Amino acid sequence: MTGLKRRAVLGLSLGLAGCSLLPQRPYQERREWPLDVPRSTALPANPHGPVLLVRALRGGPGLDDRGLRTLRADGAAHTDYWEEWAVPPPQAVEDDLRQWLAGSGKFAAVVMAGSDMPADLVLEGELLALVADLARSEARATLSIVVLRRIPGAYQPLLQRSFTGTAPLAGRDGPALAASMRQAIAAVLVQVEAAVSGAA
């Protein structure tokens, strides 16, 4: 190959390296959303009430992922890579549940696993769903719980139920989806409080 041809090939190679044939996507920043669901009003602890131990919530399939989940019109579930919860949903909902029940005024204390305070009741659960259903334009959350009473040497089952809460979608962008799913969690916690208080 002559020097002229060599220089021409080299120039063409450098030119192709400098331009991409793939379309360039605009930079998209990943955003995190809190999954805290505070009560509107919190009552003081009831000194004559039982002590409730809330154990770590398990997560249903896919719910340990932090990405916001949507259910599309064709029934396909989608987890967003760019819009996500600040912590995994089961961990956040467990904290929400503990604080919500602590503010109900029905218990002497609501504690987590590892507490030295002896518990009269134990709550175990699993977060089964936390999704924005685009076809129905609603956010939906489902929580399954078991409540046990501690008796000498054993546990007595008091309650085993699943609860589902819904909220209308405020929109389809990240902030709106996160806000609607928080409202769905709040709707579940209202139901759980009533059921656990009745069982206790």
Residue range of the domain that includes 177: 49-199
Mean pLDDT over 79-105 rounds to: 97
Quickly state the pLDDT bin for 136 (edges 50, 70, 90).
Answer: very high
CATH code of the domain covering residue 108 = 3.40.50.10610
3-state SS track over the chain: CCHHHHHHHHHHHHHHHHCCCCCCCCCCCCEEECCCCCCCCCCCCCCCCCEEEECCCEECCCCCCCEEEEECCCCCEEEEEEEEECCCHHHHHHHHHHHHHHCCCCCCEEEECCCCCCCCEEEEEEEEEEEEECCCCEEEEEEEEEEEEEECCEEEEEEEEEEEEEEECCCCCHHHHHHHHHHHHHHHHHHHHHHHHHHC
Task: State which amino acid sits at residue 90.
Answer: P
Q: How confident is the model at residue 111 (pLDDT cuts 50, 70, 90)?
A: very high
Domain-embedded: residue 91: yes
Q: Which is more confident, 146 or 75? A: 146
With b for 16 or more beta-carbon neighbours within 10 A and e for fewer, the 8-36 pattern comes to eeeeeeeeeeeeeeeeeeeeeeeeebebe
- Please tell me the total number of residues recorded for the chain in this structure: 200
Q: Is residue 21 part of a domain?
A: no
Q: Is residue 153 part of a domain?
A: yes
The verdict on residue 190 lying in a domain is yes
**pLDDT, tens digit, for every residue of 66-88?**
999 999 988 889 999 899 999 99
Q: Quick check: is 174 in a domain? A: yes
In a domain, 98, yes or no: yes
User: Is 32 inside a domain boundary?
Assistant: no
pLDDT tens digits for range 4-25: 454 444 444 444 444 445 555 5
Q: Given pLDDT bands bounded at 50, 70 and 90, which one contains residue 27?
A: low
Q: In this structure, is residue 33 part of a structural domain?
A: no
Domain count, the chain: 1
